[in-house]
C-alpha cells in the first residue's frame, strides 16, 4: 500500500510564503478532506504537490512511499501515480478529449508498448457512462466551451481513465449545481476503493454529504490546524470558520507586550 507524507512543508510564490509548515499523511484506500477558508493555501498545496513551477519549496518534503518527489517533474509525479484535478481546469483548443486521454494513457506505458485503440474506446465509454457523459464529449476539444459542471466532470473522467494511486481534487464541487454535484460525487464514490487515496479539497461541507471522508483536516494560514473524523466537517458547518480568526487574535494578543507584562 502506497502512502504520501507531507512533512513541515513551506512553499512560496514570488517570495511570499503561502504554505507555512504543513504536515499531512494519507494512504491508498483513504479519503481525506481538507477544508478551510478562502486564501488559506489549499489550491497552493495542490499545485505544489503537482510540481507547479511557479512555486518554490523552501523547507520540508513531500514523500511518496518514502521517496521525495520535489525534484521530479510533474509528468514524472503523474507516472508515479499522482493525479491532480484543478480548481480551474484549463482548456486545450485543438486537442480532442479522446486524443488527450489516449495520449495521457499512452505516456504511462513502457517504451515501445502501444495502447490498443479498441480497448481504449471500450474503457473510455465505460467511464463516460459511469459519469453520465454524452459520447459527443470525446470529439470536443478538452474543456473548450464546457460549462463549469462539464469541466469538473471531465476532470473526474480523467481520474477514472488514468486510475492513479492518489488523486488530489481541488474544489471539484465549485460551480456545480446539485444534480452535477451528485453525479461527480457518485463518480468519485464508484472509484473509491483500496487502490485509490483521495485528498478532497473543499471550502463547503456540502460535498462531504455525498463523498463521506474518512478524515477531515482544517487548513488555515498555510497549515493544518485541526484534524479529525468526518464529524469535524459537520462541526465546521455549524461553527463556520470564524473561530480560526479568534485563534489568530488570541495568538496575536498572547504575543503582545501588554498581555505578557500583565
Ligand atoms: P485557497 O485555495 O485556500 O483559497 P490559495 O492557495 O488559492 O488559497 O491562495 C492562498 C494565498 O496565496 C492567497 O492569499 C493568495 O492571494 C496567495 N496567492 C496565490 N497565488 C498567488 C500568486 N500567484 N502570487 C501571489 N500570491 C498568490
Ligand atoms: Mg482554492
> 200 CB contacts (<8 Å, ≥6 apart)?
31, 32, 33, 34, 169, 172, 188, 207, 208, 211, 213
Is position 72 within any domain?
A: yes
Cα of 138 vs centre of ligand 1, distance in Å, is: 33
Atom of ligand 1 nearest to the CA of 46: 6
**pLDDT attached to residue 248:** 67
Atom of ligand 1 nearest to the CA of 36: 3
Query: Cα–Cα distances in Å, from 6 out to 15, 26, 238?
Result: 21, 9, 29
**pLDDT attached to residue 252:** 52
Number of domains into which the chain is organized: 1
The CATH number of whichever domain residue 236 belongs to comes to 3.40.50.300
**pLDDT attached to residue 251:** 56
What's the average pLDDT block by block, 10 residues per block, for the chain (262 residues)?
96 97 97 95 96 97 97 94 89 94 90 92 93 90 89 92 95 83 90 96 90 96 95 88 73 45 34
**pLDDT attached to residue 262:** 34
Is position 145 within any domain?
A: no
Provide the domain limits for residue 234.
3-92+164-255
Is position 50 within any domain?
A: yes
Is position 82 within any domain?
A: yes
Is position 130 within any domain?
A: no
Q: Write out 137-150 in H/E/C secondary structure.
A: HHCCEECCCCCHHH
Pocket of ligand 1 (CB under 6 A): 13-14, 16, 18, 36, 38-44
Amino acid at each position: 500500500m502506497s502512502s504520501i507524507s507531507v512533512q513541515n512543508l513551506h512553499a512560496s510564490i514570488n517570495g511570499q510564503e503561502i504554505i507555512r509548515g504543513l504536515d499531512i499523511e494519507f494512504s491508498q484506500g483513504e479519503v481525506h478532506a481538507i477544508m478551510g477558508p478562502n486564501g488559506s493555501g489549499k489550491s497552493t498545496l495542490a499545485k505544489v504537490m503537482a510540481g507547479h513551477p511557479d512555486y518554490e519549496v523552501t523547507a520540508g518534503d513531500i514523500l511518496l512511499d518514502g521517496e521525495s518527489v520535489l525534484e521530479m517533474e510533474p509528468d514524472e509525479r503523474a507516472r508515479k501515480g499522482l493525479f491532480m484535478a484543478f480548481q480551474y481546469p484549463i482548456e486545450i483548443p485543438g486537442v480532442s478529449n479522446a486524443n488527450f486521454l489516449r495520449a495521457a494513457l499512452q505516456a504511462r506505458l513502457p517504451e515501445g508498448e502501444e495502447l490498443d485503440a479498441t480497448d481504449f474506446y471500450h474503457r473510455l465509454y465505460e467511464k463516460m457512462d459511469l459519469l453520465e457523459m454524452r459520447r459527443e464529449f470525446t470529439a470536443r476539444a478538452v474543456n473548450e466551451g464546457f460549462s463549469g459542471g462539464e469541466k469538473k466532470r471531465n476532470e473526474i473522467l480523467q481520474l477514472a481513465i488514468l486510475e492513479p494511486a492518489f488523486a488530489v481534487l481541488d474544489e471539484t464541487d465549485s460551480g456545480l449545481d446539485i444534480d452535477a454535484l451528485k453525479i461527480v460525487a457518485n463518480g468519485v464514490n464508484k472509484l473509491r476503493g483500496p487502490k485509490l487515496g483521495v485528498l478532497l479539497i473543499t471550502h463547503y461541507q456540502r460535498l462531504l454529504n455525498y463523498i463521506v471522508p474518512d478524515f477531515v483536516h482544517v487548513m488555515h494560514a498555510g497549515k493544518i490546524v485541526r484534524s479529525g473524523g468526518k464529524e469535524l466537517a459537520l462541526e465546521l458547518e455549524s461553527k463556520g470558520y470564524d473561530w480560526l480568526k479568534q485563534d489568530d487574535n488570541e495568538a496575536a494578543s498572547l504575543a503582545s507586550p501588554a498581555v505578557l507584562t500583565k
